[in-house]
Structure 1
Amino acid sequence: MKNEGVQAIIGPQTSAEADFPVHLGQKSQIPILCFSVTSPSLSSSHTPYFIRATPNDSAQARPIAALAKAYNWREAVAIYEDTEYGASFIPYLRDALQEVGSQILFRCVLSPMASEKLITKELNRLMAMQTRVFIVHMMSSLASRLFLQVQQLGMMSKEYVWIITDGISNHLNSMDPTVKSSMQGVIGVKAYIQESKHLAKFTARWEQQYKEEYSNEKEIPDLNVFGLRAYDATWALALAIEKSGTEAANFRQPIPGKLAGNMTDLSTLRISISGPKLLRAILESRFRGLTGQIRFINGELLGSKFQIVNIVKEGVRDVGFWSPESGLLRGWKIRQKEKDLRRLIWPGGSAVAPKGWVVNPNGKEKLRIGVPFTHGKFVTVEEDPISGAQRVTGFSVDVFAEVVKVLPYNLPYELVPFGDGHGKTF
């Protein structure tokens, strides 16, 4: 900013990196367009020269809550990284869950530099709880290490629910195959990008250019949503510069401060005269980009539709969508607008939706139910003539088994015959 006289900045890439340059942009009246900074802690209401060219993380709290409501999950555990990016999303998630009658029962906070030993320790604590619904919000690098430990501990099995947010879902295609293999059954929420001719043509050009520049590469990497949003942000800035006529940089010197001779002093930063005009032009952007309609409301990109994905052996499946107007849907077409999702594959390969919690987390103890040794219409206790094992059958037993199936939790039990069949008990 001091030496080059930049008029605007596109970036930085992460929420953790954004705070300082956004502060500098505000001081110098230089617009900062961020295409991957999603943390709600950064807001244009406090720093008007910060423009979020990507949806705010808070928007994905409602589709996650819709999943909890659809499957009647009353409690969940939030697992997030110990950064502003991780922590700032949780209040919105808490409020969204409360609106549908659910709640965050426990919060597990992990440092981005957490060791495998510490991750394992925290997961063991979670495994001892009754709740089996886990919502993970962190950068993909930490998530990769987390899910490898999850699988190793046997927590990617039946009765478990794992939901990942947009920051992880958008990087699934670039994750190591071993990591994706450990995430089979996970549900992901990600911003919806509608297919279009414009996007298809751009993708074709990208693939052709990549082949020409990297002819020795066998595979062409996928363009993730952040690459597309970076392209749209660049277009928004270019159109705004053309519209506002601010091609030439124009600055004025600040009023000298006490440390004006110190080149690291922020008081020496020049102030952009054309900055306010360029900012207005960016905020008035209206065009069709690669990711959809580009329009800013209160300094943030308009967009609130989400896609629900399911990680399976074959890769990542689209299982539905969410919008504020319609909630969860199988698809956008009229004939697909059922108020549910396509069939999901849950952890452990199960096709049955988990109930969300278990009575006995360690799975070692069962509810022991005494059954009189009898031969009636409703309950019969028989002894195998060869093994001597006792088997309990009958109408009442069948009814009890069906009731257990519809309980909102897992109930391990064991039927224990007692007595001698002639009224005597021991």
Structure 2
Amino acid sequence: MKAATTTLLRVLRRRHGLLLALVLLVGAASGAAAQRTVDVGVILDRSTWVGNMSWTCMELALDDFYADDSHARYLTRLKLHLRDTGPNAVDAAAAGVDLLKNVGVQAIVGPQTSTQAKFLARLGNKSSVPIISFSADCPSRAGLTPYFIRTAWNDSSQAEAIASLVQKHNWREVVPVFEDDDTNTKFIPDLVDALKQVDTRVSYRCKIHPSATEDAMKAAISSLRHNWTSVFIVRMSHALALKFFQLAKDEGMMGQGFVWITAYGLTDIFDVVGSPALDVMQGVLGVKPHVQDTVKLQNFAQKWHSKYRLENPGTSLSEPTVSGLYAYDTIWALASAAENATYVNLDFGPSVTKNGSTDFDRIDTSKAAEKLRGALLKVNFSGMSGKFRIENTQLASSYYMIINIVGQERREVGFWTPEFGISGSLNMKSDINTIIWPGGDHETVPRGWLLPRNKRLQIGVPANPGFGQLVRYENGPEGQKGFCIKVFDEVVDNLPYQVLYDYHGFDDGHGNSNGTYDELIYKLYLKGFDAVVGDVTILANRSLYVDFTLPYTESGVRMLVPVLDRRQKTAWTFLKPLTADLWLGTGAFVVFTGFVVWCIENHEDFKGRRLRTTCQELL
């Protein structure tokens, strides 16, 4: 390089003089500075619609950023190096090593899945290179290393939105239905915690393996039918969800009385699959990040549609999903951070492990990438997906939108905001729009529970209770008697639907009690009975295990017994209750009252003489 420069100077001096040579060299140096390149690796699975859609968004983001007049004088230029790794996590890790060792990238954008994020997060921590994901769902990945950054919303806020929707409709028990993969490892516990905050119980979790057969999925759906709740929260991949809802529809679980809520990620199925998903998911509610519809977004969607359809003919995807907008904003933020970061030589520093036996051990650290990470965490702008600001290595979340599947459209019925919870408006508390529930009902909100198919309630009755007038259990069809039994029978008869039940005594088979009342309550808690009817006292320790109805008798014990009156009765018997103290008190009040009346009659101010004189003078 030095020899070439010396030769160039010698030629320029000979022909044009020293001044011209210096001018050209300064100009060349300025041009080199303007073309400073910041290499960024991109790891995607181009065999998926997410990978293709995201790559199109990234390319457009790069073009739009440097076409902007305000960025024309930037001295840095982002260069993307794509690696199509497929879904395999090991291949993604190998691509990460290649980008770090052979390309010297200062950041890696990807990985699509949380499983891939596990491997690449370790690479980022070792090399000080930020690993940036816009689609890895699991929020726990952000806590693996400070060099792993999620440019997508935290799923915990989505859990709060779903819990608020459940609370609004007073559903007391729900069942999560989710794909048994790494994506839901942290989301489901977050969801359960959020539901606990609104006093909603999760008594059962339905896991479905990603490679589940049709018979396995039917068995899972059948298990849902044997639970009391009819409110289900679903989160799984698009292909698995489409089969699941089709089987659920065949089993009659997409009809009246059921509630289905889909978490974000699955909500995009309507953009990707289209009519097949809409046909089998009628009445389903969905939660997705709210993106403000702007002219800028509309123009971008048109450009994206033309480019994506050209590169992917025959696709059913008509517009970029929120994940694609995250990918767009990620590249925009990186390009801005590259300009704002203090320039450092792109050479990687020496590896901490000098004599490692693998490429992973010999990965060097990058000071330039560390500077880029610091600048990225400070980026703040309004992007396609909304406000772009990193908090705790994740994109700060904002508002969620509630959608309802009706016919062939997705109706917007409301929003969730941290200030107002579930509301029909983003700026104030208001009623949400009418929801069309599964089965086409829009007037009656589902109760949230249904009797399991062919289910008879097993009602426990105390044996040998304290008072037979309240409850008494004897063997035989008419053995249940007492006031409590009559109340329960009357309540069930007045329900607007049929409830089948059988009484079972809590006895040892010989007519004796099988334990104490506390043991009876605990057996109910262990689901040995569906309910207990009897003279069970409401105590604090029992309330920890079961729910009690409101008392329908007064608390306490009373006895009504006949009394033989042996007192003599005469004409003066009525005077016997009047004691000497009462007679003395009565006499004292009579004397005091007479004294007050006498004082009033003999006092000058209360006499009528002056009033009569005044009246005569007026006449």
Where on the TM-score scale, by shorter chain, does this alignment land: which range? 0.7 to 0.9
Which range moves more in the overlay, 270-279 or 49-58?
A: 270-279
1:375 is matched with which residue? none
Matches within 5 A, 1:88-167: 88-167=186-265
Given residue 282 of structure 1, which amino acid in structure 2 is its aligned partner?
L
The yes-or-no answer on 1:343 pairing with 2:441 is no
**After superposition, what is the alpha-carbon deviation per residue over 1:194-233, rounded to whole angstroms, capped at 9, x for unaligned?**
112221221232234456x369769762111111110000
Measure how far apart 1:286 and its partner are: 0.8
Partner of 1:59, secondary structure, is: helix
Query: In structure 2, what is the Cα distance between the partners aligned to 1:253 and 1:91?
Result: 41
2:588 is matched with which residue? none
Measure how far apart 1:177 and its partner are: 2.2
The yes-or-no answer on 1:230 pairing with 2:327 is yes
Q: Is the 8 A contact 1:159 1:354 kept in 2?
A: yes
Matches within 5 A, 1:186-197: 186-197=284-295
The yes-or-no answer on 1:291 pairing with 2:408 is no
State which of 50, 59, 65 in structure 1 corresponds to 2:163: 65
Query: In structure 2, what is the Cα distance between the partners aligned to 1:220 and 1:228?
Result: 14
Quick one: structure 1 residues 289 and 129, their matched pair in 2 at CA, closer, same or farther if it must change by over 3 Å? same
Query: In structure 2, what is the Cα distance between the partners aligned to 1:62 and 1:218?
Result: 34
2:445 is matched with which residue? 353
Quick one: structure 1 residues 216 and 312, their matched pair in 2 at CA, closer, same or farther if it must change by over 3 Å? same
Query: In structure 2, what is the Cα distance between the partners aligned to 1:216 and 1:349?
Result: 36
Measure how far apart 1:249 and its partner are: 2.6
Query: In structure 2, what is the Cα distance between the partners aligned to 1:57 and 1:216?
Result: 33
TM-score (norm. length: structure 1): 0.81
Quick one: structure 1 residues 272 and 132, their matched pair in 2 at CA, closer, same or farther if it must change by over 3 Å? same
The yes-or-no answer on 1:56 pairing with 2:150 is no
Measure how far apart 1:277 and its partner are: 1.0
Given residue 38 of structure 1, which amino acid in structure 2 is its aligned partner?
D
**After superposition, what is the alpha-carbon deviation per residue over 1:340-366, rounded to whole angstroms, capped at 9, x for unaligned?**
3211111111112110002x3116879
Query: In structure 1, what is the Cα distance between the partners aligned to 2:187 and 2:160?
Result: 12
Query: In structure 2, what is the Cα distance between the partners aligned to 1:365 and 1:332?
Result: 46
Query: In structure 2, what is the Cα distance between the partners aligned to 1:47 and 1:104?
Result: 31
State which of 408, 412, 423 in structure 2 corresponds to 1:318: 412
2:349 is matched with which residue? 252
Given residue 329 of structure 2, which amino acid in structure 1 is its aligned partner?
D
2:106 is matched with which residue? 7
Q: Is the 8 A contact 1:40 1:57 kept in 2?
A: yes
Given residue 15 of structure 1, which amino acid in structure 2 is its aligned partner?
S
2:122 is matched with which residue? 23
Query: In structure 2, what is the Cα distance between the partners aligned to 1:248 and 1:288?
Result: 31
Identity of aligned residues (%): 38
Quick one: structure 1 residues 244 and 108, their matched pair in 2 at CA, closer, same or farther if it must change by over 3 Å? same
Measure how far apart 1:92 and its partner are: 1.2
Partner of 1:199, secondary structure, is: helix
Which range moves more in the overlay, 216-225 or 173-182?
A: 216-225
Partner of 2:398, secondary structure, is: coil
Higher relative contact order (CA 8 A, sep 6+): 1
Which range moves more in the overlay, 113-122 or 244-253?
A: 244-253
Runs of 5+ in structure 1 lacking a partner?
367-399, 406-410, 415-426
Quick one: structure 1 residues 239 and 361, their matched pair in 2 at CA, closer, same or farther if it must change by over 3 Å? same
Partner of 2:257, secondary structure, is: coil
Bigger Cα Rg: 2
1:307 is matched with which residue? 401
Please report the RMSD computed on the Cα atoms of aligned residues, expressed in angstroms: 2.6
Measure how far apart 1:404 and its partner are: 4.0
Q: Is the 8 A contact 1:79 1:109 kept in 2?
A: yes
Runs of 5+ in structure 2 lacking a partner?
1-99, 458-490, 501-619
State which of 153, 168, 172 in structure 1 corresponds to 2:266: 168
The yes-or-no answer on 1:274 pairing with 2:368 is yes
Q: Is the 8 A contact 2:229 2:448 kept in 1?
A: yes
Query: In structure 2, what is the Cα distance between the partners aligned to 1:91 and 1:215?
Result: 38
State which of 57, 65, 83 in structure 1 corresponds to 2:181: 83
Measure how far apart 1:60 and its partner are: 0.7
2:498 is matched with which residue? 412
**After superposition, what is the alpha-carbon deviation per residue over 1:270-305, rounded to whole angstroms, capped at 9, x for unaligned?**
211212211110000011100111111111111231
Query: In structure 2, what is the Cα distance between the partners aligned to 1:84 and 1:76?
Result: 22
Measure how far apart 1:81 and its partner are: 1.5
Which of the two has greater helix per residue? 2
Q: Is the 8 A contact 2:352 2:364 kept in 1?
A: no
Q: Is the 8 A contact 1:171 1:224 kept in 2?
A: no
Partner of 1:109, secondary structure, is: strand
Quick one: structure 1 residues 403 and 205, their matched pair in 2 at CA, closer, same or farther if it must change by over 3 Å? farther
Matches within 5 A, 1:194-213: 194-210=292-308, 213=310
Query: In structure 2, what is the Cα distance between the partners aligned to 1:20 and 1:216?
Result: 33
1:36 is matched with which residue? 135
Query: In structure 1, what is the Cα distance between the partners aligned to 2:220 and 2:267?
Result: 23
Q: Is the 8 A contact 1:40 1:89 kept in 2?
A: yes
Query: In structure 2, what is the Cα distance between the partners aligned to 1:10 and 1:215?
Result: 22
2:422 is matched with which residue? 328
Which of the two has greater strand per residue? 1
Quick one: structure 1 residues 26 and 403, their matched pair in 2 at CA, closer, same or farther if it must change by over 3 Å? farther
Query: In structure 2, what is the Cα distance between the partners aligned to 1:195 and 1:24?
Result: 38
Partner of 1:354, secondary structure, is: coil
Query: In structure 1, what is the Cα distance between the partners aligned to 2:181 and 2:278?
Result: 24
Given residue 136 of structure 2, which amino acid in structure 1 is its aligned partner?
V
Query: In structure 2, what is the Cα distance between the partners aligned to 1:199 and 1:247?
Result: 35
**After superposition, what is the alpha-carbon deviation per residue over 1:16-62, rounded to whole angstroms, capped at 9, x for unaligned?**
22110111111111111111112122124x41111110001111111
Measure how far apart 1:87 and its partner are: 2.5
Question: How many pairs were matched up?
Answer: 369
